[in-house]
Amino acid sequence: GQQVMQIPQYQHVQEGEDFTTYCNSSTTLSNIQWYKQRPGGHPVFLIQLVKSGEVKKQKRLTFQFGEAKKNSSLHITATQTTDVGTYFCAGAPRPSGSARQLTFGSGTQLTVLP
């Protein structure tokens, strides 16, 4: 079955440093979504990428979808303490439309040291 690998599992950064998490799928994806889960909270949708090579930005966050639609990354510039949490990618293989096929990565837990 489809597997979505996410690295690193943990990342500690000093406030102001950059952070990147990577997501790799064993199969070609129709789209990929990113979620953030604060400590003790629930996942909150951040963004969805659909097109090959797509790049989207949300303030200090930059999301990329690979040309082959098998990998994705989330980059945070100049981290702040509010960025603390676990970031998950979630991929749906082609063809899309089946809820069963959305597979979450294991997440990257980000700690920002003040």
Partner 1 sequence: DGGITQSPKYLFRKEGQNVTLSCEQNLNHDAMYWYRQDPGQGLRLIYYSQIVNDFQKGDIAEGYSVSREKKESFPLTVTSAQKNPTAFYLCASSMGGFSAEAFFGQGTRLTVV
Q: What gap in Å lies between CA 70 and CA 51, rounded to an integer?
A: 11
Residues 17-36 that bind partner 1 (CB under 8 A): 30-31, 33, 35
User: How distant, in Å, are the alpha carbons of 15, 16, 17, 97 from that of 74?
Assistant: 17, 16, 14, 24
Reference 11, options 84, 78, 105; nearest CA is: 84
Which one of residues 70, 88, 110, 112 is an interface residue with partner 1 (CB under 8 A)?
A: 88
State the minimum distance, in angstroms, from the CB of residue 41 to partner 1. Answer: 8
In the bound state with partner 1, the residue whose beta carbon lies nearer, of 29 and 76, is 29
Which one of residues 42, 59, 82, 114 is an interface residue with partner 1 (CB under 8 A)?
A: 42
